[in-house]
A and B are shown apart, each in its own frame.
Chain A
Amino acid sequence: MNVLRICKNNFLRATKRKEIFVLSFILIPALIALLFFILNKPASPKPIAFVTSSDVEMPKIENVDIEKINEEPNYSDLILKKYSAIVKQNDDGSFNIKTILSKDFKNFLDSYLNNKGDINLNDYKDNKRGTGTNCIGFISVFILSLSFFLMDLCNEDKSCGAFRRILTSRTSARGYLSAQCLFNFLLLFIPSCLTVLVLHGIFDVNIGLPLTSFIFILFLLCALSSMLSLALSSLIDDPVSYLSSSLSLGILLLLFSGALIPFNNDNGLFDTVTNVLPFKTLLTLSQNVENGNSIFMYNGMLIYIVLFIVCLYFIGTAITKKKSSFGTY
């Protein structure tokens, strides 16, 4: 009962601080909708610039736009990825290719245009992730940042003495922290879940994964974010330094889990170290589900994530209890 009372108190506090509702109920749905809109477009490679003043045509490549221009574009256009390659035809009929992208891409173009090597057209495929996994990767940035903002309420309580008063009442520290986690989780899960339901049900947007799997993965993501913010807030008490350090740490964690930039499993040691991160397990799980398998085939990953959630909760509550027994509050 006290847990629900503290939750209700947090909601009442949030009505006075409108930015909390604006961030959860307006910004997150808008960002999710924008993400689905951007990532649902077919990912075609950037156009290739073909520099010629005559009517010569470059051989067509499947799914690649070829722009014919008169003047050679600047090298910085390649860097900004306006064009993926600049192709000029030499006097002897062969093509001169200038690109800064990977050697595989250059070899593919070379073999296709100048008939060197045996690379098949269909062999060159970008190692792209599915739409749903990409969306979950980007959504996790917003959800993690928002969970840190929301857990700020807990640190404010600690700094202004409200936490001390709550500890002297019948509510235990664990009860109070559970209430904060519940509030955090509800404000993360409900808007994002509703957005996905509306986008899929009414606007028929392709979310990549089956709806129930997507909602389940979103549930795990929100739970993981709120527990991580709980654990960090129990370590860092000062509200200002909590926010700045937890945001940087969160972004770094997501970066090395491959949420923002997908990376291949090439480097053994790096992969072993990053495989510990639960966000990476979550993204691997969602990619596997997107490839067509059922979510319950990967019980090991599910158990790992749930275990992490439970451990973070116990770490957060244990540290806070220890600090309160030392008299920090």
Chain B
Amino acid sequence: MNLLKIIKFDLSNDFKNMSFIFAYLITPIILLAGISFLTQSYYDSSLFSSIDYYGITMSVFLCSMMCDLSLNSFTVDTVKPVNIRVIYSPTKKTNIFLSKILSGFIYGIIMLLIFTLFEHFILNVNLGGANVFFVLAINIAFIFFSCTLGCLLGCVIHNGNIASKTSSFLFSIFAALGGVFFPVYEFGKTFSKFSHLSPETPVIKCIFSIIYDNDLSSFLGVISFLIIASIILIILCKITFKPEEYI
């Protein structure tokens, strides 16, 4: 099948590029180590330490960075000749952008699993014990959502430079508002109302309530929201995608 061939090709390109490993795996690890070291005096480490907080939020941040990956495999200049060949081959229009989403999704899952294993065995972050599979499920759904959002940005904004700058800026704002770098209520109740704008807020809140309150009530709600939103974004991609714009 054409779709599987293109996915295999995209994945092999992603794995060959060493700078992706630096950007999507090493950067969250360094941020996690740095920020949790700097904030360790704010928390009482016997009950809950800063590495427990930033371990969770940095894994959500890693999932959100997959948006950049699927966007770059679309629009960056080095893949332009490849894209031209794919567009002129007898491939369905849908398969072109779907392969970017799925290859970004598979790459994201592998990065997330490596990061989670690193956190669990080396940093001893509290990942919820038996509930760790629910946490992983939410993170995986969030990876899928970010990949579809990245793809939609690529379909709407045809210029690669502007699209990648927009997506990195947008996701930094989402991360700052959503509670990745500091807790949501840090600046007071008024400012925390802006956190509703970010898609990362419900994910982070749900993961903390699963791990620390053993409360699975919001799990189904958050996962169905992420999957339905991803399906809507894929439909929007199908409507807005025009292969001729990428030549």
Contact = CB atoms under 8 A, between A and B. Distances in A.
Interface of A: 19, 38, 41, 44, 46, 74-76, 78-82, 99-103, 106, 149, 240-241, 244-245, 247-248, 251-252, 255-256, 258, 260-261, 263-264, 266
Given A100-B44, A261-B38, A80 B165 contact: no
A19 B35 CA distance: 31
Contacts of B168: 247
B16 to A, nearest CB: 15
Contacts, number: 81
A79 B215 CA distance: 15
A41 B48 CA distance: 28
Contacts of B213: 74-76
Interface string B177-194: 001010111111001000
Given A19-B162, A79-B183, A101-B44, 19 more contacts: A74-B209, A74-B212, A79-B48, A80-B179, A80-B184, A81-B184, A81-B186, A82-B185, A101-B43, A102-B42, A241-B19, A244-B19, A245-B22, A251-B31, A252-B30, A252-B34, A255-B34, A255-B35, A256-B34
A214 to B, nearest CB: 22
Contacts of A99: 44
B76 A79 contact: no
B41 A263 contact: yes
B44 A76 contact: no
Chain B: interface residue count, which band? 35 or more
A76 B38 contact: no
Nearest to B172: A145
A100 B208 contact: no
Contact of A266 (B27, B41, B186): B41
B41 A81 contact: no
Given A38-B191, A100-B47, A101-B44, A81 B183 contact: yes
B53 interface: yes
Interface string B202-229: 0001001100110100000000000000
